[in-house]
Structure 1
Amino acid sequence: MNTTEQSQQARLLTPNELALLIKVFREMRQWSQEQLAAISGLNVRTIQRAEKGGPASLDTRRALARAFEFEDIDALSKPFTIPTEDELKAAKEKFDRENITLTATPLTTGKQLAKLAESCTMDLSEPAFALTREADEAFATLVDYFRDYRDCADAYMEMQKFEVYDEMQSGIDTLRALGVSLCYAIRKVQVKWGMGSDTKPMPATVLYVVAFPLGKEPEQFATPKSGGIRL
């Protein structure tokens, strides 16, 4: 067995190797430590300790595996084939091919959201972390409202829009009171409807409305390039 084969042999991760793995997976997703903590349900200090090579309990490793969407939640506690530098580079390149990184712009006013609804063809709105039931319902209510408005915005007179602004502002304020902040990004895409080979793609504007923990909004976030949307 040569040196390369030995280095790739499955074995338990050392604390330092686990620390590097967590950091790589987190940074590939453009997540901050605070975002990973929110998504995994762990304390930020626990994430920081794990990334410094400190002890990580079985529950911590399982929570991280779930956050990174491992099929086996015990994957980080079992013998692991350590990827080489080239393999890590290839994984990063694959992620970049399959995802696009967008700038996260704060969404703070109802008028701002209404204008975005008027200008977009469709939206992909979702929370970036696990919401409480109350916050989840408030987010869903706001999304349903602005989608309804988007579908019939042309029918509103300018004075009537002020009521829409107020309703959306109320939804945004409710979420902030529940510790949820909204960011948005806009993306121009080509959408192909149907499966026919002769179907031509049509231009569309996609609005991303994403919920983050209040005070922990990122500057960027990554999203799949395709999945119902074709570039």
Structure 2
Amino acid sequence: MNATENTQQVRLLTPAELAVCITVFRDARQWSQEQLAAISGLNVRSIQRVEQGWSACLDTRRALASAFEFADIDALNKPFAIPSEDELKAAQEQFDQEHDTFAAIPLTTGKQLAKLAETCPMVMSELAFEMSREVDERFAALMEYFRNYRDCADAYTETQKLEVYDEMQANIDVLKTLGISLRYAERAVLVKWGSDPDSTPMPVNVLYVIGFPLGKEPELFATPESAGIRL
């Protein structure tokens, strides 16, 4: 047995740890507590008690595992290998080395998005969670309009730009009614154009536009340093 294995604890999740897990699993699926109760066959009060860190019986944990489609419905009743503080620290350091972290800035107006299109020739856009088909289509339409404007913004008159602001605003407003909040960040990168290995890298602003469930927006988000970029 190596040193890493020696430092790990193998034990059941505590009620507090289970509470965090269930809340995260539920939020990832955008389920309300009422929806989880209906899917699991438990009552809402039971869900609330679990997420508040109260002790949960074997049958409750089974029902929750089944609701989240675990292959083993007893998974939450079995011991887990809990990483040590040193392992968690090492994992965080590795994550920080492999990712860039940015402030998640609210994106609320069409004019704001249009101005970003004028200064950021590259964009990465995605929804942070699996959303409905309607949300996917609306978000895709907004980003397609963004790219079309970005590619020929210099040809627009100031009056025509006002129409662009309005069109983008309309899409942002619809996304908000669908429960989606937009956040963005800018990243300065060096890019080589063409296949010549001796070409001089050029500085370029990359824009990240991310959609989050309304009310669950993070203050920061991270992206891999090696992530691809959509032109």
Q: TM-score range by the shorter chain?
A: 0.7 to 0.9
Partner of 2:41: none
Going from structure 1 to structure 2, the CA distance change for 1:43 and 1:60 (only over 3 Å counts) comes to: farther
**Paired residues of 2:117 and 2:149 also in contact (CA < 8 A):** yes
Aligned partner of residue 203 in structure 1, secondary structure: strand
**Aligned partners of 1:189 and 1:205 also within 8 Å:** yes
Counterpart position of 1:120? 120
CA change 1:193–1:100 in 2 (3 A) is same
Normalization by structure 1: what TM-score? 0.74
Report if the CA contact (8 A) 1:40-1:63 is conserved.
no
Output the aligned Cα RMSD.
3.8
SS where residue 217 of structure 1 aligns? Answer: coil
Instruction: Give, in whole Å, the separation in 2 of the partners of 1:163 and 1:200.
Output: 38
- 2:177 — aligned with what? 177
Q: Is the Cα contact below 8 Å between 1:37 and 1:47 reproduced in 2?
A: no
CA displacement, residues 57-76 of structure 1 (integer Å, 9 cap, x when unaligned): 3575688899xxxxx999x6
Q: Distance in 2 between matches of 1:219 and 1:58?
A: 34
- Contact in 2 for aligned 1:18/1:53 (Cα 8 Å): no
1:29 paired residue number: none
**Inter-partner Cα distance in structure 1 for 2:7 and 2:159:** 69
2:31 maps to 1:39: no
Most deviating of 84-93 and 38-47 = 38-47
Deviation at 1:203, TM superposition (A): 1.1
Which residue in 2 is equivalent to 1:13? 12
Query: More deviation in 211-220 or 186-195?
Result: 186-195
Match of 1:87 in 2: 87
Structure 1: runs of 5 or more not aligned: 24-32, 67-71
Deviations 1:82-110 (A, max 9, x none): 32221111001001111122111111111
- Is residue 61 of structure 2 the alignment partner of residue 57 of structure 1? yes
Report the residue type matching 1:201 in the other structure: P
Given residue 166 of structure 2, which amino acid in structure 1 is its aligned partner? D
For structure 2, list consecutive stretches of 5 or more residues without a partner in the other structure. 34-43
Give me the identity figure in percent. 52
Structure 1's consecutive aligned runs of 4 or more residues displaced over 6 angstroms after TM superposition are 1-4, 62-66
Alpha-carbon distance in 2 for matches of 1:53, 1:153 = 56
Pair 1:204 & 2:208 matched: no
